[in-house]
């Protein structure tokens, strides 16, 4: 029996919650800026602000990909591993194989799209829960990246297993990608493009519908599997871009370099759910979430909080964002 | 053919006579057998907020008999049985057992008195990853362990096996529940019910998911229990089965008891007559329309045990009813036609040409629309605004350059549709979750009106919808047909089938068992075929 839901008078507490839910993240950002700005002298310097933006750009790009996978009701936990793989691939293309920048980046993106394809195939065809399946592939691709690099760091002039020095050079143009202003420009472009895609195109609308009610979406004639596949491809693509930029920034491929970005990306995305009261994964919100984490991290370091305690703070922020999101869902 | 016709004819004659009989004897219960009744429920009434579900019901059963309890959807049979099993504590009236008044206000009190109930959904009552033995002994493991913490496995299985043996159920106690067939699960459930003291056993539509041979197995068990002196209350919509297994029958309608008698004293058409009672007048639209040539055809549709080779066709401008009880396979057929079942096979033709439908996406492209039964789960996006819901199936019409959404056009179309269907919503931006059931359904239908499909399939479109919205929906359906669309209208509300359709297919147990022209048929006849009667 489906009875009419009576229109309830909202109590004041509910209004307060709605307001905090919608604008809480933004208010937190401003409060943090005020607090850190008064406590730490250098916090509001232009150079520090640019520093913060640069520090969040890789997280943001990876998180935007994750946002798309969440939009269709999926969850791509393998983004960190994909970024590691991309980092290893792109650096090795230059250092080991002496490829030019176009082929180096192109091939890397292509390989990482294959990762997305594998994720989508497993999740869609075997009807496995997205989070569990990508937890498994997260380990697989992390392992693939490690095996590919033989568990070692790739860098210019490294000693190869044969005993020779690697002769390949990383192109100077590639280095530029990882530097200001380009790294920030790329981040802003990614956020804007995905925001427009999700909000203003038919395809974005379909993705949200699939995320909202997969059965109803299918029965409305939306090709659900195609869009879920597309979402995993997009997710892997942005993870790969994140990994490539990481490579450009540090000019090496460290072991499991992309791994730590997973948690930050998840946190940024879930904090983003509530921004402007969207109540669903969205690119602008994800950006705000990344800014929040970036400011926290930067400010706390300025206040001499040790780096090893940072995970406690980030984890707590994620827990809070999740609590808000799930509390909202039930009310 | 001639047999059926003759039966229908004599039944028709009887029907006119019956009406007058009914008016004089309605709402009286005759005394059943001469033996002292085991169970008596006296003057039972219960109300829920806004509804009076049962009014002054007197119900009684005798030990060692099977008692059929029958009534249309919402007649109150489940409510009555729930009271008996202690699910409600706010009813009025008395319950007597063995001539003594008893107090039943909680499930535990009912169980302690030996009243056991087996619900239709066997899968929710059994734990699939435990063995048969563990499931049978579940109640005892949970309630009767006292201070003991270790399970005595040998004892548990011995006892379980002895219960199974006593009841002639040939299932190993060591087998996992997940490995059993539906019928076996059902029997394990019954074994569990009688593993403790059991004097009254309520079986709520036990045969609905079972095949013919499985039903036979179940009936053997029921007969055995009868011999043991258990009083069985058997709820089912399948009339022939009731006649096979039951001794007495009680018919309910609109929360009241209409008739109690020995089943031998009432024939099948009479039962149907009592179930329906006087018809309530509903406003069905009378729109004159042209019926064109056959346009939509479904040939030999099969779906793994749920649909057995269905053929049907619809002419342009024709409303074809798909009648059948809950579980007859109507929903499965609608979904199969729409490409929403992975396991279905069959040929679908539109305007003579064969369609390749592998998914709902294909179906929609070919111009087929389905308004599904489970509205909230399958029909609408509750978190999205009305406008987004309405344009869901035709978003391409509201986007330029292939995919860029034009919000202005969407808003305009949404407003027009809200106006046209009379959807009660503050604006097109309101989330669908805040709308009433009837208005949600209008949104689910409105989505397909924007599509302009050739074939419209409605699956129980008036379920949970208020009277006003129902009338609006009937009008919409008739209007679609007037515009030359093919309409398939699946419903278990037979008054609607009779009121709105031109032709009816009756479904029973996954097959279409009868095709009728609505004008020359009537509700009783359709219900008779729906319950599997009238064909033998």
Spatial neighbors of B346 by CB under 8 A, at least 6 apart, are: B298, B299, B300, B301, B302, B310, B336
Segment (H or E) for B189: helix B182-195
Chain B: closest CA distance from residue A278 (Å): 11
Spatial neighbors of B487 by CB under 8 A, at least 6 apart, are: B314, B318, B319, B320, B455, B456, B457, B458, B477, B480, B481
β-strand partners of B117 = B202
Residues of A in contact with B442 (CB under 8 A): none
In chain B, how long is the greatest CA-to-CA distance?
82
What pTM did the predictor assign?
0.78
Interface test with B, best of A199, A216, A325 (most B CBs within 10 A): A216
Residues A306, A51 contacting (CB under 8 angstroms): no
Residues of A in contact with B403 (CB under 8 A): 201-203
Chain B residue with minimum CA distance to A214: B378
Count CB-CB contacts under 10 A for residue B17.
9
Q: Which residues of chain B have a pLDDT value below 50?
A: 1-33
Q: Where are the beta strands (DSSP E) in B316-394?
A: 319-323, 344-350, 353-355, 368-371
Judge residue B349's burial from the number of C-beta atoms within 10 Å of its C-beta, 0-12 exposed, 13-18 middle, 19 or more buried.
middle
Residues of B in contact with A280 (CB under 8 A): 383
Chain A residue with minimum CA distance to B73: A1
For residue B458, give the 3-state DSSP assignment: strand
Q: What φ, ψ does residue B106 adopt, rounded to 5°?
A: -145, 155
Residues B231, B65 contacting (CB under 8 angstroms): yes
Residues B260-315: tens digit of each pLDDT? 999 999 888 888 888 877 555 556 777 778 889 999 999 999 998 789 999 999 99
pLDDT the model gives residue B281: 53
Q: Give the whole-angstrom CA distance, residue B433 versus residue A235.
A: 30
**Domain A42-328 adopts which CATH fold?**
ABC transporter involved in vitamin B12 uptake, BtuC (1.10.3470)
CB contact under 8 A, A5 and B447: no
Asked if A125 has any chain B CB less than 8 Å from its own CB, the reply is no
Chain A: closest CA distance from residue B461 (Å): 12
Asked if B505 has any chain A CB less than 8 Å from its own CB, the reply is no
Q: Which residues of chain A have a pLDDT value below 50?
A: 1-9
pLDDT the model gives residue B77: 85
Asked if B379 has any chain A CB less than 8 Å from its own CB, the reply is yes
Asked if A222 has any chain B CB less than 8 Å from its own CB, the reply is yes
Say if residue B528 is preceded by a cis peptide, omega within 30 of 0.
no
Q: Give the whole-angstrom CA distance, residue B303 versus residue B472.
A: 34
Q: For chain A, which residues make up each domain, given as ranges?
A: 42-328
- The beta-carbon neighbor of A2 closest among B375, B398, B403 is B375
Three-class SS of chain A: CCCCCCCCCCCHHHHHHHHHHHHHHHHHHHHHHHHHHHHCCCCCCHHHHHHHHHHHHHHHHHHHHHHHHHHCCCCCCCHHHHHHHHHHHHHHHHHCCCCCHHHHHHHHHHHHHHHHHHHHHHHHHCCCCHHHHHHHHHHHHHHHHHHHCCCCCECCCCECCCCCECCCCCCHHHHHHCCCCHHHHHHHHHHHHHHHHHHHEHHHHHHHHHHHCHHHHHHCCCCHHHHHHHHHHHHHHHHHHHHHHHHHHHCCECCCCCCCHHHHHHHHHHHHHCHHHCCCCCHHHHHHHHHHHHHHHHHHHHCCCCHHHHHHHHHHHHHHHHHHHHHHHHC
Q: Which of A261, A216, A279 is nearest to A71 (CA)?
A: A279
pLDDT the model gives residue A4: 41
Chain B: closest CA distance from residue A205 (Å): 8
Chain B residue with minimum CA distance to A201: B404
Please state whether beta strands B319-323 and B256-262 pair in parallel, antiparallel, or not at all (unpaired).
unpaired
pLDDT the model gives residue A222: 94
Asked if A215 has any chain B CB less than 8 Å from its own CB, the reply is yes
Residues of A in contact with B381 (CB under 8 A): 209, 212-213, 216-217
pLDDT the model gives residue A123: 95
């Amino acid at each position: 029996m489906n009875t009419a839901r009576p229109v309830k008078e909202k109590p004041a507490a509910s209004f307060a919650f709605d307001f905090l839910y919608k604008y809480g993240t933004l208010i937190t950002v401003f409060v943090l800026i005020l607090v850190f700005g008064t406590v730490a002298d250098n916090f509001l310097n232009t150079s520090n602000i640019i520093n913060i933006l640069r520090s969040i750009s890789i997280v943001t790009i990876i998180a935007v990909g994750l946002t798309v996978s969440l939009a269709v009701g999926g969850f791509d936990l393998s983004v960190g591993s994909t970024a590691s793989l991309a980092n290893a691939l792109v650096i090795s293309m230059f250092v080991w194989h002496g490829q030019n920048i176009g082929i180096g980046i192109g091939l890397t993106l292509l390989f990482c799209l294959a990762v997305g394809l594998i994720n989508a195939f497993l999740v869609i065809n075997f009807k496995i829960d997205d989070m569990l399946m990508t937890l498994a592939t997260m380990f697989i691709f992390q392992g693939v990246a490690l095996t590919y690099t033989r568990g070692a760091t790739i860098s210019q002039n490294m000693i190869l297993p044969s005993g020779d020095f690697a002769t390949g050079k990383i192109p100077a143009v590639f280095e530029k990608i990882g530097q200001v202003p380009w790294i920030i420009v790329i981040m802003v472009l990614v956020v804007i493009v995905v925001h427009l895609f999700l909000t203003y195109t038919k395809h974005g609308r379909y993705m949200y519908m699939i995320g909202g009610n997969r059965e109803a979406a299918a029965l409305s004639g939306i090709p659900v599997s195609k869009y879920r596949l597309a979402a995993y491809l997009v997710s892997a693509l942005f993870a790969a871009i994140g990994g490539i930029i990481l490579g450009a920034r540090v000019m090496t491929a460290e072991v499991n370099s992309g791994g730590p970005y997973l948690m930050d990306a998840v946190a940024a995305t879930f904090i983003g759910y509530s921004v402007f009261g969207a109540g669903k994964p969205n690119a602008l919100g994800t950006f705000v979430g990344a800014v929040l984490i970036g400011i926290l991290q930067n400010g706390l370091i300025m206040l001499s909080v040790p780096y090893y305690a940072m995970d406690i703070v980030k984890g707590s922020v994620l827990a809070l964002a999740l609590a808000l999101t799930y509390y909202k869902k039930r009310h | 053919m001639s047999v059926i016709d003759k039966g229908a004819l004599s039944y028709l004659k009887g029907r006119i006579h019956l009406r007058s009989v009914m008016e004089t004897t309605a709402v009286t219960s005759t005394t059943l057998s001469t033996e002292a009744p085991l169970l008596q429920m006296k003057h039972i009434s219960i109300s829920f907020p806004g509804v009076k579900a049962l009014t002054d019901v007197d119900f009684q059963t005798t030990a060692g008999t099977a008692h059929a309890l029958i009534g249309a959807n919402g007649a109150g049979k489940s409510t009555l049985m729930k009271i008996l099993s202690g699910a409600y504590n706010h009813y009025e009236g008395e319950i007597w057992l063995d001539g003594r008044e008893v107090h039943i206000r909680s499930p535990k009190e009912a169980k302690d008195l030996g009243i056991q109930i087996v619900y239709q959904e066997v899968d929710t009552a059994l734990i699939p990853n435990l063995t048969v033995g563990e499931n049978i002994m579940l109640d005892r493991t949970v309630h009767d362990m006292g201070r003991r913490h270790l399970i005595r496995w040998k004892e548990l299985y011995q006892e379980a096996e002895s219960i199974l043996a006593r009841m002639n159920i040939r299932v190993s106690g060591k087998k996992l529940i997940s490995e059993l067939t539906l019928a076996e699960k059902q029997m394990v459930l019954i074994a569990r019910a009688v593993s403790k003291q059991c004097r009254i056993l309520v079986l709520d539509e036990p045969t609905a998911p079972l095949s013919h041979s499985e039903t036979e197995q179940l009936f053997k068990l029921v007969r055995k229990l009868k011999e043991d002196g258990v009083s069985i209350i058997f709820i089912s919509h399948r009339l022939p089965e009731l006649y096979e297994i039951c001794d007495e029958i009680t018919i309910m309608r609109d929360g009241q008891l209409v008739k109690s008698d020995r089943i031998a004293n009432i024939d099948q058409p009479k039962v149907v007559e009592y179930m329906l009672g006087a018809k309530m007048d509903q406003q069905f639209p009378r729109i004159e329309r042209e019926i064109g040539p056959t346009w939509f055809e479904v040939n030999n549709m099969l779906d793994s045990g749920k649909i057995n080779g269905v053929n049907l066709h619809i002419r342009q401008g024709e409303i074809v009813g798909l009648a059948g009880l809950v579980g007859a396979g109507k929903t499965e057929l609608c979904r199969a036609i729409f490409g929403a079942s992975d396991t279905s096979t069959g040929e679908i033709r539109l305007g003579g040409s064969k369609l390749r439908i592998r998914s709902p996406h294909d179906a929609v492209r070919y111009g087929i629309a389905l308004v599904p039964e489970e509205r909230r789960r399958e029909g609408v996006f509750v978190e999205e605004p009305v406008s987004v819901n309405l344009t869901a199936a035709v978003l391409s019409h509201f986007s330029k350059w292939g995919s860029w959404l034009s919000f202005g056009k969407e808003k305009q179309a949404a407003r027009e549709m809200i106006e046209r269907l009379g959807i009660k919503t503050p604006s097109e931006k309101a989330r669908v979750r805040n709308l009433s059931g009837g208005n949600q359904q209008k949104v689910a239908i409105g989505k397909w009106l924007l599509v302009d499909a050739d074939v419209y399939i409605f699956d129980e479109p008036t379920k949970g919808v208020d009277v006003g919205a129902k009338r609006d929906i009937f009008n919409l359906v008739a209007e679609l047909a007037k515009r030359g669309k093919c309409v398939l209208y699946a419903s278990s509300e037979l008054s609607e089938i009779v009121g709105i359709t031109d032709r009816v297919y009756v479904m029973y147990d996954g097959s279409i068992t009868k095709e009728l022209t609505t004008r020359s048929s009537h509700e009783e006849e359709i219900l008779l075929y729906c319950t599997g009667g009238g064909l033998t």
